[in-house]
Structure 1
């Protein structure tokens, strides 16, 4: 016993150590994975790679990812592993990698091939595209004027294909085209040097910087006329000077979305630079933009003048070293509701609510103009104020004000309404002295099927309480009790049919168009038979039944009766025995079927018979043996054990299947659901024991045929098929003396997942035989194999593996039980 106690103690110690080590290793692995994840830089800018595609990323996003890859020193192979671990599909990574490697070069090549522009121009277009994407994410769409810098069609790029401006100031890097024609001719292209001069052969150096083109032309002509080109002085030659290439200037922009130093064309204007820098920043002004030249404010630009009036007075040309400053805005307000352009607007000092309404496009058609609600911000809290229309021109909004323009009430102030049996129902203008009869006349008068005995007038009082007033339409039209109307009165005049049920008669049975038909006065049985398209060929001419509701049981029938039933005979041409049989509302006419009428029923026999094909059933109880005899008997190749019948599901079969499913749903038993569905899909394939049928015609195995039956007689198949959980599913020749194990061996044997106790055999006629496991599975008996059969080895049921938590829980339970055993044994030995 002492030795036994030592063994248990040692076992408990080993299990405890094993569990502790496993838990420690799992915790260490989790911490290592978490540390690795936290140390990996976010090179993908926080995108959800499992949902985003490479095509959804803008060029700016791709450029950002490329920069982060370079800065972090991560290779593309390492980046691929990170992307795949975050859920990006491999195909999407290949697309993204292609963009990371080829975006810049592809864009530059395309630009250079389409238009011979400078590298600076390509870069500027690239920055423009990237910035448009950035701006759409950054700027709130409500800010009035922000859309000016997020619309790709608005670029404000300077037009370089224009005539040389006469007031253009020349400077370094300007290129001049000098053309002399007449007595002397020459073409000279010169560039203004950084010193502000140009050099002409045989003329010398001429200073031109700071001069306009017109002034420079006069100076150059004078210099050239005094030297090598005297014909210019005498007028025998003419001089024309144009700009062949303009210089670039340097400007500085502050307070913008993209502040910085910019190099622009010397023809650029203020608006060109505004778009280049992305417009004002989030907190900067749209209305007090300063153009600073020589350290002084040269011009103040108000973008609202351009946005609301198209005024470009502030769009002046830029000069070297100009500074554009976007100061912080002083006052912004919000207006919403029934205005044409709701949003956030910037206001200047002394501007009023009327100016704000102008910027917002004015009121909409449904605006409530009498008063505007404004929510204000004080030093302590917020407050609300109602501004009457008279204060629009005087109220000066304060920073943070929120204006709300309401809508008018969805009702008419002077409407009366009439509905029902009038020719023009609807709303009409209320006028003093208007009465019920007057409103009926305005509505076109009464329709023919009007109910004049009673109508209703609904009146809504000032306190909202509704009052119902009834009147007689005929009396009112005759001037009796004609009620004067008030605003918002509503009249309803009913139709006669409103007080009648929708009377119908029903015809069923052997007619071409059974159904319900509208009842009419003096509708006869012959009429409704004609409306139903007449009787079918299967109709009985001696049994037409009419069922009628009982109106008064005490007068005609006993109290036990619930309907009156009439039987009428019919002859050829819809001639009725009682030609004047008149129907009543809700009568049900039933045309019975002729008991001697039977439509042909057909069955089909295919395969190994002498005359396969479709046959008409002769007798109600015709059987399989009779059909085979009519088909000329079996052919020499027919396999008697390979005959089956396919029968369509009848309505009774479908109803029975549905009943079984309903019971299973209530009881939770679904063991045969798949079998029922399989039978439905297989169209009820029935195995036939043809040997027994031919041996004993008319027996229970010799089934009675039904319409649509298909009998298939197979030919002898000398092979046996083995499928399912075998190493090599195959077909092999039938050997009569061999058992099932022989055929499994021919297929390479069973797999480790084979369920040997459930092996079954499907015979050619569709019959199935399963393995018999005997007592406790000790005396297993496999089905007999026949030629043409199929052996199916099913798969084992998949058992769910324990999760980590379940494993730990089970281990803890085992340890606890072992501890209890040890304690018990220890107590016993004390």
Structure 2
């Protein structure tokens, strides 16, 4: 009976709280018992009107509702029933009414893994590139947007994590009894668990809070006490804490994750300001310096011991630097470095990763400031561990000298030309033996040594290499460092001879000449003769003489040789000389059969070989069986391929149209890309009457004879109202066909209308008398084309006024002249 009364009381309380919630969400003092599932649609409508009348959104009242005890789960349900966009839904909304259900009740398509991700308020920070501080060692740490020290929210909750207002716990009971809820930590530091009540957890670690919550739940769920159900407590939402950063590039108050660390906050603040310290940053907690942070420990050694966690209301203070020095030159990481008291130049070298491979390491030059003027000092290598850098020092690390301490060079006709180490007392023969000796083509009469004198000028020392290698003490001179010995080759003094072969040879080219080279050798080297080679070979040889012979007009000496083309050999082998030019002549008669094509209305269309050098069109048509009865006598034409030399001829002709005029360019482009053939119209009636007439065109290889079939219509195209084909009427003229298609359109140019006959010939209308025009004759299969009238620019009013003014002025002058 007591249980029934308890249930009734709870139901009444829930109903009353829901009614209060519906009456005014903004005025209620205790919203902990609100259950959105019990609100009617009318109640939801009242809440919407309340929000609208107060000009507020549901997101704006979230913090207030949570502070008055409303659970995050219920608030998420309220947002969902108010019809918020999908992207604003929280984890609790996605769970909906699945609270107190098992995993089998998950909706289809819901990604359970997303529910398991710990939430955190999104923090945005735009990085500003620090150009003023870019040389300071460590500034790049805070300019890189891919490096932010953001805490990983997916890691297990640290057992020493201290709870506070704004955190949210996920509490679940699994086993015989089941329960699941997400409860926020209120501003009073309490969590309100359904059927359990409020539990204070603020200031407790997550481990201690878990034990306290388990104890409280065990008083309500008896199976927890008996061990038949287990309680799990995890952190589902991380609270946001406030920290203050002073002395950074972007100082101010920052809202960051309670899991954030010092480096994370420094990154958000942009790092130290222009004069900020990188090595003495203070973390102030409860008005005392809790930690001194030295960023160099992390940059140099990767030590993150200074990267401690932050707490609410922590202050990070970045004071001004005390001692900064600059390193220039041959350091692996030059820049501006901050030095602490007691650190030495060797520590500075460690910060900059040491000297690079080109550095002069024996000493370092430093420019110091004395308070009145500058001072220059040199730090020797032995002082690196004891010299203490001063504020404002500028260290200049120079390069090693571009010279060698013990270098000597040998090149030329030795087996291993290279650079070798010099030692005192080294002689010419010693260096040559070190270079594996002389080559067979070495020139022994003279070798050259280029020597650097004491004043750095150069001199040449000549050596008799043959005597030096024979242990002649005078010739085998002693060497000095930086000597460069050149051993000449006898091949260097020999001219490189060539011979040339051209003509009917497979590989015409210029070939190297060797002693005893014959014509047969050269022909074989050039791949042999082609099939069109004749037996005649002409050899041109240069004339060489000490004196000029004016009686001899010849520039070269010519030799005519007969060979056997089939065997690439000659009976008497001709010996060649340097610079001979060999020409293998082509056979006088050696032409491959060439063809033309005939298509259209003939008896036997196809390809035909030109039987004679002057084969006519009549002959080929006759060989093709003549024209058929369907052929048009006005439709015989020849399409001749445009050759490359025709395009080149056009390119070589200047039309004097100016550089910017495109007419000639258009003509060249049309020939190259658009027109592949030129058309030759044929008057077949004239050909059949007289085969000797000019109409009987001589054919060329590649020509295509096209015989069009008879067409009974006349096509009219261009700028006419209707492009069409009109049946041919022998009693009608040019104008009849234009009228038959509706006449010309607004842009048609009647005076330039022309006709294209079936054989490709064209004719245009022309004037006979002042007002009379002669139109071309129309035949079956012809095509009438009306071109577009060119656009003309009308004269403006100002131009007419100008012309009128000129005419008036001329009239006045004439009147004045005849007075």
Q: Give yes or no for TM over 0.5.
A: yes
2:598 maps to 1:599: no
Q: 2:561 aligns with which of 559, 568, 588?
A: 568
Cα drift, residue 357 of structure 1: 3.0
Map 1:211-230 → 2, pairs under 5 A: none
Task: State which drifts further: 352-361 or 509-518.
Answer: 352-361
Task: Tell me: CA distance 1:356–1:792, structure 2 relative to 1, closer, same or farther (3 Å).
Answer: farther
Task: State which drifts further: 462-471 or 440-449.
Answer: 462-471
Q: 2:266 aligns with which of 271, 274, 277?
A: 274
Task: Tell me: CA distance 1:744–1:339, structure 2 relative to 1, closer, same or farther (3 Å).
Answer: farther
- What is the match of residue 307 of structure 2? 315
Q: Distance in 2 between matches of 1:206 and 1:344?
A: 55
Q: Distance in 1 between matches of 2:801 and 2:388?
A: 78
Q: Distance in 2 between matches of 1:809 and 1:633?
A: 68
- What is the match of residue 545 of structure 2? 552
- What is the match of residue 71 of structure 2? none
Task: Tell me: CA distance 1:303–1:756, structure 2 relative to 1, closer, same or farther (3 Å).
Answer: farther
Name stretches of at least 5 consecutive residues in structure 1 with no aligned partner. 1-103, 181-185, 230-235
Q: Secondary structure at the match of 1:568?
A: strand
Task: Tell me: CA distance 1:755–1:320, structure 2 relative to 1, closer, same or farther (3 Å).
Answer: same
- What is the match of residue 493 of structure 1? 487
- What is the match of residue 601 of structure 2? 608
Contact 2:151 2:259 in 1 (8 A): no
Q: Distance in 2 between matches of 1:817 and 1:316?
A: 94
Q: Distance in 2 between matches of 1:824 and 1:493?
A: 96
Task: State which drifts further: 606-615 or 710-719.
Answer: 710-719
2:426 maps to 1:467: no
State the TM-score, normalizing by the size of structure 2.
0.71
Cα drift, residue 618 of structure 1: 1.4
Cα drift, residue 654 of structure 1: 4.9
2:499 maps to 1:505: yes
- What is the match of residue 45 of structure 1? none
Contact 2:150 2:260 in 1 (8 A): no
Q: Distance in 1 between matches of 2:508 and 2:653?
A: 33
- What is the match of residue 523 of structure 1? 517
- What is the match of residue 19 of structure 1? none
Q: Secondary structure at the match of 1:684?
A: strand
Cα drift, residue 560 of structure 1: 0.8
Contact 1:158 1:268 in 2 (8 A): no
Q: 1:538 aligns with which of 532, 539, 542?
A: 532
Cα drift, residue 568 of structure 1: 1.7
Contact 2:447 2:487 in 1 (8 A): yes
Q: Distance in 1 between matches of 2:365 and 2:478?
A: 39
Q: Deviations over 1:752-794 (max 9, x none)?
A: 444544444333333333443568x865544444333333444
Q: Secondary structure at the match of 1:308?
A: helix
Task: Tell me: CA distance 1:630–1:824, structure 2 relative to 1, closer, same or farther (3 Å).
Answer: closer
Larger RCO (CA under 8 A, 6+ residues apart): 1
- What is the match of residue 408 of structure 2? 416
Q: Deviations over 1:366-388 (max 9, x none)?
A: 22334556677899999988766
Cα drift, residue 431 of structure 1: 1.6
Map 1:697-776 → 2, pairs under 5 A: 697-773=691-767
- Name the structure where helix makes up a greater proportion of residues: 1
2:286 maps to 1:294: yes
Contact 1:248 1:263 in 2 (8 A): yes
- What is the match of residue 355 of structure 1? 347
2:698 maps to 1:688: no
Contact 1:548 1:564 in 2 (8 A): yes
Task: Tell me: CA distance 1:280–1:747, structure 2 relative to 1, closer, same or farther (3 Å).
Answer: farther
Map 1:231-310 → 2, pairs under 5 A: 249-281=241-273, 284-310=276-302
Q: Secondary structure at the match of 2:637?
A: strand
Cα drift, residue 818 of structure 1: 11
Task: Tell me: CA distance 1:501–1:767, structure 2 relative to 1, closer, same or farther (3 Å).
Answer: farther
Task: Tell me: CA distance 1:223–1:636, structure 2 relative to 1, closer, same or farther (3 Å).
Answer: closer
Q: Secondary structure at the match of 1:315?
A: coil
- What is the match of residue 616 of structure 2? 623
Size of the alignment, in residue pairs? 698
Contact 1:758 1:794 in 2 (8 A): yes
Q: Distance in 2 between matches of 1:266 and 1:286?
A: 24
Cα drift, residue 606 of structure 1: 1.4
Cα drift, residue 595 of structure 1: 1.5
Task: Tell me: CA distance 1:386–1:120, structure 2 relative to 1, closer, same or farther (3 Å).
Answer: farther
Task: Tell me: CA distance 1:193–1:712, structure 2 relative to 1, closer, same or farther (3 Å).
Answer: closer
- What is the match of residue 587 of structure 1? 580
Task: State which drifts further: 549-558 or 263-272.
Answer: 549-558
Q: 1:790 aligns with which of 767, 771, 783?
A: 783
- What is the match of residue 105 of structure 2? none
2:442 maps to 1:450: yes
Task: Tell me: CA distance 1:724–1:304, structure 2 relative to 1, closer, same or farther (3 Å).
Answer: farther
- What is the match of residue 427 of structure 1? 419
Q: Distance in 2 between matches of 1:672 and 1:250?
A: 78
Q: Distance in 1 between matches of 2:794 and 2:318?
A: 67
Task: Tell me: CA distance 1:657–1:456, structure 2 relative to 1, closer, same or farther (3 Å).
Answer: farther
2:108 maps to 1:116: no
Q: What RMSD in Å do the two structures reach over aligned CA positions?
A: 5.1
Contact 1:456 1:493 in 2 (8 A): yes
Q: Deviations over 1:618-666 (max 9, x none)?
A: 11122111111111111112223222223334565455334325x7599
Task: Tell me: CA distance 1:244–1:751, structure 2 relative to 1, closer, same or farther (3 Å).
Answer: closer
Cα drift, residue 564 of structure 1: 1.4
Q: Distance in 2 between matches of 1:197 and 1:495?
A: 99
Q: Distance in 2 between matches of 1:736 and 1:305?
A: 107
Map 1:136-151 → 2, pairs under 5 A: 142-149=135-142, 150-151=144-145
Contact 2:528 2:568 in 1 (8 A): no
- What is the match of residue 24 of structure 1? none
Q: Distance in 2 between matches of 1:389 and 1:687?
A: 98
Cα drift, residue 105 of structure 1: 7.3
Q: Distance in 2 between matches of 1:420 and 1:123?
A: 73
Map 1:43-442 → 2, pairs under 5 A: 115-116=114-115, 121=120, 123-124=122-123, 127=124, 131=126, 134-135=127-128, 142-149=135-142, 150-152=144-146, 154-157=148-151, 161-162=155-156, 165=159, 249-281=241-273, 284-329=276-321, 334-348=326-340, 351=343, 353-370=345-362, 372=364, 394=387, 396-399=389-392, 405-442=397-434
Q: Distance in 2 between matches of 1:730 and 1:221?
A: 96
2:637 maps to 1:644: yes
Cα drift, residue 707 of structure 1: 2.0
Q: Distance in 2 between matches of 1:272 and 1:623?
A: 95
Q: Distance in 2 between matches of 1:645 and 1:282?
A: 86
Contact 1:534 1:574 in 2 (8 A): no
State the TM-score, normalizing by the size of structure 1.
0.70
- What is the match of residue 68 of structure 1? none
Cα drift, residue 466 of structure 1: 2.8
Q: Deviations over 1:580-620 (max 9, x none)?
A: 32111222222222223332121211111111111111111
Cα drift, residue 749 of structure 1: 3.7
Q: Secondary structure at the match of 1:657?
A: helix
Q: Distance in 1 between matches of 2:371 and 2:660?
A: 69
Task: Tell me: CA distance 1:457–1:690, structure 2 relative to 1, closer, same or farther (3 Å).
Answer: farther
